[in-house]
């Protein structure tokens, strides 16, 4: 049976903060929970599983739209008894490509910071890092 949990218990069980759960409800990512006679939100095991899936997606860097799409795909496959994962794999592959592109950007950023730090370590009257940060965009850096 699907035990009713308070929002605090659901938060602890899923690793998602209470305010984040409320945000997911407002955004329509998580269905609005049923309410107790006193008006408190009540969550079931399926809700906690949804929250865990969203949390894992977010930990992997998926955006909310992607996490929501993955949730819909996972729940749709479970409901249909499907085992195929083409759509899920395609979404994950697109995300991996975005991660790879971001890594290229981060490596370039690391190199720029390394150059700036090396210039600063060389000494001088003015801070090389501050000088580069204050320089107009077309002056390099």
Give pLDDT tens digits for 122-139. Answer: 776 678 788 888 889 876
**Residues contacting residue 33 through CB under 8 Å, at least 6 positions apart:** 7, 25, 41, 42, 43, 47
CB 33 within 8 A of CB 67: no
Residue 115 domain-assigned (yes or no): no
Say yes or no to pLDDT of 64 above 80.
Answer: yes
Residue 53 domain-assigned (yes or no): yes
HEC string of 73-140?
A: HHHHHHHHCCCCCHHHHHHHHHHHHHHHHHHHHHHHHHHHHHHHHHHHHCCCCCCHHHHHHHCCHHHC
Residue 92 domain-assigned (yes or no): no
State the burial class of residue 48 (Cβ atoms within 10 Å of its Cβ: 0-12, 13-18, 19+): buried
CB 10 within 8 A of CB 43: yes
Residue 2 domain-assigned (yes or no): yes
Distance CA 23, CA 68 (A): 13
Note the pTM of the prediction, 2 decimals: 0.76
Residue 24 domain-assigned (yes or no): yes
Q: How many domains does the chain fold into?
A: 1
Least trusted range by pLDDT, from 40-44, 74-78, 80-84: 80-84
**pLDDT score for 81:** 60
**pLDDT score for 92:** 93
CA 99, 102, 103, 106 dihedral sign is negative
pLDDT digits (tens, 9 = 90+) for 106-126: 999 999 999 888 888 777 667
Residue 119 domain-assigned (yes or no): no
């Amino acid at each position: 049976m699907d035990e009713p949990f308070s929002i605090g218990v659901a938060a602890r069980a899923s690793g998602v903060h209470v305010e984040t759960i409320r945000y997911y409800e407002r955004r329509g990512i998580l269905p609005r929970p049923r309410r107790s006679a006193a008006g408190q939100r009540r969550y079931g095991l399926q809700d906690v599983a949804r929250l865990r899936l969203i949390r894992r997606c977010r930990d992997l860097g998926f955006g909310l739209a992607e996490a929501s799409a993955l949730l819909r795909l996972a729940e749709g496959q479970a409901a249909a008894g499907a085992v195929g994962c083409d759509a899920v794999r395609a979404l994950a592959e697109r995300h991996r490509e975005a991660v790879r592109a971001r890594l290229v950007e981060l490596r370039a950023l690391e190199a720029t910071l390394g150059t700036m730090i090396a210039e600063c370590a060389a000494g001088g009257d003015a801070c090389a890092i501050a000088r580069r940060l204050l320089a107009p965009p077309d002056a390099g850096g």
